[in-house]
């Protein structure tokens, strides 16, 4: 039921290795991309972003396109991921988020009381509120000229909820988690609202030209198995199901979907059956163990420790080889276990990408 579909006269795709791996088809080499591949580790990224406010950059389709393409000019990556941020969804709900230097994203008025939910937009017109992301996707899809597929993404409901209540990053997520214990009904109301917006947002990204979608449950590790079962997993499942049925209804391509729930190994079995073609992994699980838990019907993505890229280049090659031997070269997409850090050497990123291609080709031949 997957097909390569070119609405809006998009250029023909030349390298579909990433999409084939995502769908479980055979590939000549293991595809590779990096979370946060468009980022501050690139001098050209820092130059482009220098004069601009972070969220103003997110709202400029032209700048998002440029930042998305930068890593592809340097490295033979097998996919591009649109430059944006997961916090554009809370913004679409009417919350104000600013990027504070040295502190990161900060909500001027986080949710404190259950009554604060009434301040949120209960019905969101995603085209009106997030149309700038759709424009960035369409522009980038054209500008890629079919070189590689373009991935769209969103934060998952629990992760977004935790930001909206904490008002920014947090080591404990104590405020957000206290809602789960003290206000379970209100928590479910908020998670449902987020689920509906995220669903429309992801469908809109496909309509705009995204060829795969990734859902980031970045804060999964703050939940235990019971809370994950109650407050994260049902919404992760609903999103996969709702996105797929809406794509069918709107005669849009059924694109592969990736779920990345950081630090949620306790839930890998459930995530493998949550309706996603690909399960992303952080670096804290052994490849063989992840395969055993997820079975044969999903593709795995990950999971080199990002800090491995600080190692000398030869060492990076050895670590990649070991990773490929652990996962196998098929039904597998190479990536890091989390995003690239700002102080990483771009040359080491290049070594990582090249090592994946070289070693996987070698393994496939022999």
| Residue 163 appears among annotated catalytic residues | yes
Report pLDDT for 4.
46
Report d(CA 175, CA 255) in Å as an integer. Answer: 36
Q: Active site residue: 16, 23, 78, 163, which one?
A: 163
> Among candidates 321, 313, 320, which has minimal Cα distance to 346?
313
Domains of the chain in start order, with CATH, are 18-365 (3.20.20.210)
Does the pTM surpass 0.95? The reply is yes
Question: pLDDT tier at 231 (50, 70, 90 boundaries)?
Answer: very high
User: Which tens digits make up the pLDDT trace of 122-149?
Assistant: 999 999 999 999 999 999 999 999 999 9
Q: Active site residue: 85, 116, 189, 305, which one?
A: 85
| Residue 40 appears among annotated catalytic residues | yes
Q: What count of residues does the chain have? A: 366
Report d(CA 333, CA 113) in Å as an integer. Answer: 42
Q: Is the peptide bond before 165 cis (omega within 30 degrees of 0)?
A: no
Q: Active site residue: 23, 49, 59, 237, which one?
A: 49
| Residue 85 appears among annotated catalytic residues | yes
| Residue 189 appears among annotated catalytic residues | no
Q: Percent of the chain at pLDDT above 70? A: 98
Which carries the bigger pLDDT value, residue 118 or residue 6? 118
Q: Which two tokens stand for residue 315?
A: 């060492």
Question: pLDDT tier at 107 (50, 70, 90 boundaries)?
Answer: very high
Question: pLDDT tier at 7 (50, 70, 90 boundaries)?
Answer: low
Q: Which two tokens stand for residue 31?
A: 């595809």
Question: pLDDT tier at 357 (50, 70, 90 boundaries)?
Answer: very high
Q: Active site residue: 20, 23, 36, 237, which one?
A: 36
| Residue 36 appears among annotated catalytic residues | yes
Question: pLDDT tier at 3 (50, 70, 90 boundaries)?
Answer: very low
Please give the average per-residue pLDDT across 169-174, as a whole number.
96
């Amino acid at each position: 039921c997957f097909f390569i579909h070119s609405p809006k006269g998009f250029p023909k795709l030349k390298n579909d290795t990433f999409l084939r791996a995502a769908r479980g088809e055979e590939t000549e080499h293991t595809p590779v991309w990096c979370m946060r591949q468009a980022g501050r580790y690139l001098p050209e990224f820092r130059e482009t972003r220098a004069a601009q406010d972070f969220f103003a950059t997110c709202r400029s389709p032209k700048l998002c396109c440029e930042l998305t393409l930068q890593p592809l000019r340097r490295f033979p990556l097998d996919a591009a991921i649109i430059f944006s941020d997961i916090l554009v969804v809370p913004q679409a709900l009417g919350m104000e988020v600013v990027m504070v230097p040295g502190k990161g994203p900060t909500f001027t008025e986080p949710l404190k009381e259950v009554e604060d939910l009434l301040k949120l937009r209960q019905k969101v017109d995603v085209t009106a509120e997030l149309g700038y992301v759709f424009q960035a996707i369409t522009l980038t899809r054209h500008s890629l000229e079919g070189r590689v597929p373009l991935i769209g993404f969103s934060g998952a409901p629990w992760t977004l909820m935790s930001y909206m209540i904490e008002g920014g990053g947090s080591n404990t997520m104590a405020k957000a988690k206290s809602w789960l214990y003290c206000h379970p009904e209100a928590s479910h109301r908020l998670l449902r609202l987020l689920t509906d917006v995220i669903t429309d947002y992801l469908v809109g990204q496909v309509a705009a030209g995204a060829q795969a979608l990734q859902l980031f449950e970045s804060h999964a590790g703050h939940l235990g198995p019971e809370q994950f079962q109650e407050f994260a997993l049902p919404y992760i499942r609903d999103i996969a199901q709702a996105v797929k049925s809406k794509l069918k209804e709107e005669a849009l391509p059924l694109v592969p979907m990736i779920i990345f729930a950081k630090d949620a190994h306790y839930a890998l079995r459930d995530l493998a059956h949550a309706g996603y073609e690909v399960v992303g992994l952080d670096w804290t699980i052994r490849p063989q163990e992840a395969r055993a838990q997820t079975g044969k019907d999903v593709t795995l993505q990950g999971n080199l420790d990002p800090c491995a890229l600080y190692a000398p280049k030869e060492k990076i090659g050895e670590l990649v080889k070991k990773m490929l031997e652990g996962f196998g070269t098929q039904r597998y997409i190479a990536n890091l276990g989390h995003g690239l850090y700002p102080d990483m050497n771009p040359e080491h990123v290049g070594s990582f990408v090249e090592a994946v291609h070289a070693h996987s080709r070698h393994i496939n031949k022999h």
